[in-house]
Structure 1
Amino acid sequence: MDAPTLSYDLCVVTFIDILGFRAIVQRDNPISIFKRLTAMRRINGIDEPDEELSFHAFSDSIVRVRRIRGSVSEAVGLEANDIGLAQMDLFHEGVLIRGGLTVGQCYGDRNIVFGPAVIRAYDIESNLAKHPIVAIDPEVRRDIDMVQEFPNRLNRMKGLGPLIAVGEEGETWVDYLSISRQELDEDADVLEGLAQHKVIIDRGLSLYDEPRIRSKYEWLAAYHNNFCMGYAHIDTLPLLVRAGLTAMATVALQERIREWRKRPYGETHDICGSEHDGREEDDFGEEDHRNLEKLKS
């Protein structure tokens, strides 16, 4: 019997690793685990043929394949949007993921997936995703567009708007907080989502002392606070993560708050229940001040 004729397609390939999966399997029932795995199957509302997308899950590893029929930038944007929404849904259940996203040659159907892009996506997840992020292949970043800087916000990639963020060290990842914010119509819904995000980070910082795990929540705290400080018309200060920060991070956050208050936007829109009119205030408690004194000494 002759072997079928196969060929690679140009695809967006995302490799996902669910962190702490061993503990999830030991703790949760099969239905709950199944729901979490299939959350990464999420696709947007844009009409795309089923054959353009494939999803493969094995234990804690998930591979998503999106075939590119038009613009590479559009396909990356669609994939980033899907990943970001799924990542936020999982985060609200206390599940962290890490991943790698690339563009390249791949074959995938309902039963099998392979190709250079799958290996590349795995390598990106393993080597570049140091935090609970879905890291973007640096080559994809260079090919799509140049980086554009926005004051007081995470850097963005031109052409992909708030879908992809660029950190201070040049790392590029799916900006799931901004993607979730785009899906919400009301400021109150945004704040509710950020409040849930803060609760999970606070809990992680209070539970974990092991550096390998704690560092993930420290990074998430910085990401969360940076996102909150990007708003001018909404008072997000009560939603900042403060407890459990290192002395250095506490000093940096206090400085960010001072700068935030100096921005020439007038009074902020009070949604969190506290008025801020730009005056200098002491936003820190006793523990924060003790951290400051330790750093000074």
Structure 2
Amino acid sequence: MSGYERCVVTFLDILGFRSLLGRKSAEEIASDLVKFRKFTEGDEPHQPRRMKDYRLQSEVRAEIISDAIVRVRTTETQYQDGPFVWELLDLLHIQIDCIANGILIRGAMQIGDMHLGMSLEGPVFGQALVDAYLMEENDVVFPMIAVDQEVVRQHLKDERLWLEGHSARDEQDYADRLLAQDERGIWFIDYLRASLNEMDAYYHGWIEFLRMHRDLISRELNAGHPERVREKFDWLRDYHNRTVNKARRSFDVDEGIEEFGDRLENIFADLIVPE
């Protein structure tokens, strides 16, 4: 359709924002919103001097809607820079940064037609935004960023979503490192597992991140939430513990003494969130 372009669209918001209004001060909530917006910000709009310089590579426009953020990444570019995996990586880092600041988020990703303007100046609208919002509202109950199943299928069929020179197998391998399916069959960004390769200090950084994640879950499980809210943190605890237990099984029980001062078996055991 004229004026629209195909984009990767993610609708994100802070988990349980309404309940925060009764639990935190205005200053604390404002601080969380400022951080959330900073972590999710898009690219600065710019005005290329020549038409041939438009859409050289994938760019992101981020739109703020109260406690929600809409991220729209272009895919119809002159150079194939892998916009699908690139956006997954950006969202992974958004989750890492938010959790490090005590903020839990949820979201939904779709691909479809959007209006952005030639220089990303907006206004931002389109069917993909509606689809992402409805998916997040109706299907994303837990603190995850879900990826629509049709998007996962499209990724392997549409070379415009690939990095230049990649095969379908290459793209599948990258996606497999970043995505998992929950018990309902919903694809989501597996940020706990995938964050290992994004840490500056590798295992040291990852273990510290898991420790922060454990403490965040424990605080929320002990916060006296209503049952329907507690279910979200029960899911998060189970996801956390599955990840930690898989890590425990992947190491020799005596590994880690020299590097960490204790056996990894003991370190990972301490990271489990009690039932």
* TM-score greater than 0.5 by the shorter chain: yes
Match of 2:150 among 121, 139, 142: 139
Decide which moves more: 131-140 or 172-181: 172-181
Alignment of 1:20-35 (within 5 A): 20-22=16-18, 24=20, 27-29=25-27, 30-35=30-35
With structure 1 as the length reference, what TM-score do the two structures score?
0.68
The residue that corresponds to 2:126 in the other structure is: 115
Corresponding residue to 1:204 among 220, 243, 258:
220
Higher helix share: 2
**In the alignment, which residue of structure 1 is the partner of 2:49?**
none
Q: Which residue of structure 2 lines up, in the alignment, with residue 38 of structure 1?
A: 38
Q: Give the Å deviation of 1:273.
A: 4.9
Distance 1:127 1:20 in 2: 15
Name the counterpart of 2:162. Answer: none
Bigger mean CA offset, 100-109 vs 15-24: 15-24
Give the unaligned 5+ runs of structure 1: 147-156, 233-259, 292-297
Match of 1:126 in 2: 137
Give the structure 2 partner of residue 94 of structure 1.
102
**Paired residue for 2:90?**
82
Residue pairs, 1:249-288, within 5 angstroms: 260=249, 265=252, 267-270=254-257, 273-275=261-263
Q: Which amino acid aligns with 1:40?
A: T
The 3 A distance-change label for structure 1 pair 137 and 277 is closer
Q: How much identity, in percent, do the aligned residues show?
A: 30
Match of 1:65 in 2: 72
Give the Cα separation in 2 of the matches to 1:206 and 1:182: 31
Greater relative contact order (Cα < 8 A, sep 6+) = 2
Distance 1:95 1:268 in 2: 33
Once the 2 structures are TM-superposed, how far is the Cα of residue 7 of structure 1 from its aligned partner? 0.9
Q: Read off the aligned partner of 2:242 and give its amino acid letter.
A: N
Taking a change above 3 Å as real, the CA distance of residues 81 and 159 of structure 1, as seen in their structure-2 partners, is closer
Distance 1:72 1:12 in 2: 14
Give the Å deviation of 1:97: 1.2
- CA RMSD across the alignment: 3.3
Q: TM-score, normalised by structure 2?
A: 0.73
Whole-Å Cα distance in 2 between the matches of residues 208 and 76 of structure 1?
39
> 1:51, CA displacement in angstroms?
7.7
Further displaced range: 108-117 or 157-166 = 157-166
- Structure 2 residue ranges without an equivalent (≥5): 44-54, 158-171
